[in-house]
Amino acid sequence: MRGFIVLGTDTDAGKTAFSLAFLTAFADRFDYWKPVETGAPDSGRIKALVPQATVHASLMHFEEAVAPLLAARNAGQILPSLQQLRDALPKTTKPLLIETFGGPFSSYDENHLQFEVLRHLDLPRFLITSSAVGAIGRTIQTKIALDSQNSPLAAVVLVGPADPFAEEQIRKYCPELLVLNLQMPSDEWTAESLQQAVAAQKAKLAKLLELNERTNDSSDPRLIERDRQVIWHPYTSLADPQEPLAVESVDAEFIHLPDGRRLIDGISSWWTILHGHRHPPLMQALREAEAKWDHVLFAGATHEPAVQFAELLLQSLNWESGRVFYSDNGSTAVEVALKLAYQAWCHRGEPQRQLFIGFENSYHGDTFGAMSIGRDPTFFGRFEPLLFRTIQIPVSSESLDAALTTHSKEVAGVLIEPLVQGAGGMQMHSPQELKAIFEVTRRHGVYFIADEVMTGGGRTGTLWAHEQAGIRPDLICAAKTLAGGILSLAATIVDQSIVALFQTPDRTKTFFHGHSFTAHPLACSIACKNWSLLLKGNWKKQAGFIESYWRQNLVSLAKAKAVKEFRIQGTIAAVEFDTPGGYLAEVGRKLRQICLEEGVLLRPLGNVLYALPPYCTSEDSLARITHCLFRCQQSLANA
C-alpha cells in the first residue's frame, strides 16, 4: 500500500481544503478516500471541485453531522474495525490520499482513538492546521503527542493566509519535518479558482509529492543481495537457498515487507516481543530516557533506571531480599548463574561440587557453559570436546533423585526451563512435576536454577512460570522479555542465601564477571516501564484470551492425522507432527513456506510448529495463525 494520511490538528483545520489542492495538482497520480464521513460528505465536494480525481466511496457515512462514534451510536451501528478498514482499502494502482475526520485524538470507536487505528496503516502522515493565530502551539502540541504514541509525522501544512513566522517557529522546533504554507482561493471556490490557486503553488505541493515518494520507496531492492555479501545469520547455513525476509517496518503484531505484504509475527520475533512491536508506552519510555542517557559504566557506578528495575524484579517475585546481576542476553544470564552457583560452593568449602544437571530436550544458550548443560547433539555436537562434564536426565523427579543420590557430593546445581522447554521443541511438563523436581533439590541440598529467559513475563499464564509450582528458585535467569523486545537486557536474580556468601571484605571472593554494556540505562528505562505494566496485571486478560482461543479452536488438532502431539501452555501452542528428522527435518522448510503464503511468520523447530504471539494480537490474527496450523496439518496428512 502506498500513499499518505491527512490528519488535522482539529475539526475544520483544513484537511479537505488541502486534499482539494493536492488532487487539483496531482489527480492523475493519486486517488482519494475518506473511510468514515458524517454530514455533507467531503467525498462529494472533492468530486464536484476536482472532477478528474478518482474518489472512492467511503466505508461508512452517517447523515447526522456529529462525531462518527456518536453518529454510529445514534444509528445503532458499529464503526469498522482495523481489519475491516484494511479489507476495504480501495484496490487501485495509484497511491491513496486518505483523509481522516476531526483530529488524531478524536474517538474512533468505543475502544480506540483515531490515531490508534491509523497507526496500523503504516503510511506517512501529513498534519494540516489552520494558519490562524495559535498555529505554532497547535502544531507542536499535536506533534509531541503523536511522537509519544509511535505516530510520527512527515510534514506540516498550514492552510490559510501566509504566516512566515509560524513556518519559521515550527521548522525550528520540528526540524525533521517538511513545513509549508498553502493559500486557498480568497473568493468562491470553484474548479477554476482552485486551479489558479494551485498553479501558483504547485512547486510547494511537489515537495510533498517528492517526500511521499521517498518515504514510500525507502527500501533498497538490492537489500537481499547486499545481505548475502556481508551478513552471517544465526542458525542459518551460508548455502541456504531460502532468502531472508526483507523487513521494512514493524507494528503491533505485524511485520511489513517492501512488496506491501504484511506478516503476522506469530512467534514474537524469537519470543522477545511481549506486548507488541513498538508498544507505545515502551517507545515513550525510550524517548524519555534518550533525552538524558546513552551508556555509563556499571562497575563502581549506578543509575536510577538500573536500581528501579532491580527493585521491580524483586517485587515481582515477592522477595524481600536478594540481588540482581545484569548482563546482555539469555546465554550470559545462564553463564552468570552457573558461575555464581559454583563459586558459592567454593565459598562454602566444597569446591569439588563442579557438576551440573540439566534435562533432555533443554536449551540454555550458545555460550560454553550453556552448551554444556544443553548438550544437544545437533546444535552443539561439533563442540563436544570443548564442553565440560554435565549430566542430562529426563524431566522427572525420580530421574533427578537417582542422579543426585549417585553424585551426592559432586553436584553444584540443577538447571531447568520451568514448564516449557523452548528450543528443544516446546516440550511441556506440569507444575506438579516441576514442584517435585524442586523438592528433590531441597532434599539433596543443591542449588535450583530456573531458566526463565523465555517463560518470564507471563508467557505461561503467570508472570514467572515457576510461580505455578509454588517454589522459590535459588537463581533465576531472565532476558528476552525484560525490555519488551525493544532492547537487549538480561538479569540473573540471586537469592539472599547465595548473596550472603559474597558479602565479605575478602576481595579474593569477589565475583569477577561483567560486560561492557551491563545495565544499559536505555534498556533498563524501558524495562522499568515494561515491568510496571506487567505488575499492574492488565496483560493477564490479553494472555488469557489467547490461551482460551487456542483451547477453543485448536483442540481438534490433538487427534488429527499426521499429528503426534498437541500442547498448550499459556499463550504457547505447539503441534508436533509425526514425521522423522528432528530439528533438521526438511518438513520444517515446507511448513514455514506454507505459513508465509498465508501471511504468517512461524519458525518451526524441525517437526514442531508452534505459535507464541504478542499479547496485542487480535482475534483476526489468531484466526489466521489457526488457519495456518490446520493447513500445515492437512498438507502433511495428504502427503
Q: Active-site residue 91, yes or no?
A: no
603 annotated binding-site participant: yes
C-alpha cell at 488: 537487549
Catalytic, 235? Answer yes
Give me the catalytic one of 363, 583, 610, 615: 363
Q: CA-CA distance, 265 to 250, in Å (whole number)?
A: 9
d(CA 159, CA 153): 17
Here the cell at position 367 is 555460550
Instruction: Name residue 252's beta-bridge partners.
Output: 277
Q: Check whether 330 is labelled as a binding-site residue.
A: yes
The torsion angle over the Cα atoms of residues 625, 628, 634 and 637, rounded to 10 degrees, is -90
Nearest residue to 467 via CA among 527, 528, 419: 419
Question: Tell me, what DSSP letter sits at residue 224?
Answer: H
Q: What is the DSSP string of 508-563?
A: GGS-----TTTT-HHHHHHHHHHHHHHHHTTHHHHHHHHHHHHHHHSGGGGGSTTE
Task: Report yes or no: 18 and 155 within 8 Å, Cβ to Cβ.
Answer: no
Q: Helix 164-173 and helix 135-147: axis angle, to 10°?
A: 20
Give Cα separations from 387 to 44, 125, 208, 357, 371 (angstroms): 73, 54, 60, 14, 7
Which entry of 202, 207, 220, 235 is annotated as an active-site residue? Answer: 235
Cα–Cα distances in Å, from 220 out to 225, 246, 247, 251? 10, 9, 11, 20
Q: Pick the catalytic residue from 108, 480, 529, 615.
A: 480
Longest dimension (CA), the chain: 96
CB atoms within 10 A of CB 187: 6
- Please name the residue ranges forming H helices in 377-420: 377-380, 397-406
Q: Binding site annotation covers 2?
A: no
CA 573, 249, 536: angle at the middle one, nearest 5? 55
Q: Which residues pair with 575 in a beta bridge?
A: 566, 609
Q: Which helix (H) or strand (E) holds 436?
A: helix 431-444
d(CA 134, CA 594): 54
60 neighbors 77 (Cβ within 8 angstroms): yes
Place of cell 474517538: 107
- The reply, when asked if residue 451 is annotated as ligand binding, is yes
CA distance 38 to 71: 7
User: Apex CA 214: angle with CA 205 and CA 163, to 5°?
Assistant: 35
Give 328's contacts (C-beta < 8 A, 6+ positions apart). 488, 489, 490, 515, 517, 518
Return the bridge partners of 111, or none.
none
How many other C-beta atoms can be found within 10 angstroms of the C-beta atom of residue 407? 15
Q: Cβ-count burial of 420 within 10 angstroms (0-12 exposed, 13-18 middle, 19+ buried)? A: buried
Q: How far is CA 502 from CA 208, 325, 347, 348, 451, in A?
A: 63, 13, 8, 10, 22
Grid coordinates standing for 146? 503523536
Does residue 108 carry a catalytic annotation? no
Q: Which strands make up the sheet holding 254-256, listed edge to edge?
A: 249-251, 254-256, 262-265, 600-601
Give yes or no: 363 in active site.
yes
Q: Which of 451, 474, 495, 583 is catalytic?
A: 451
Q: In angstroms, rounded to a whole number, what is the distance separating the alpha carbons of residues 327 and 303? A: 15
Active-site annotation, residues: 235, 363, 451, 480
**Binding site per annotation, positions for substrate:** 270, 363, 480, 514, 603
**Binding site per annotation, positions for pyridoxal 5'-phosphate:** 330-331, 451, 515-516
**Binding site per annotation, positions:** 270, 330-331, 363, 451, 480, 514-516, 603
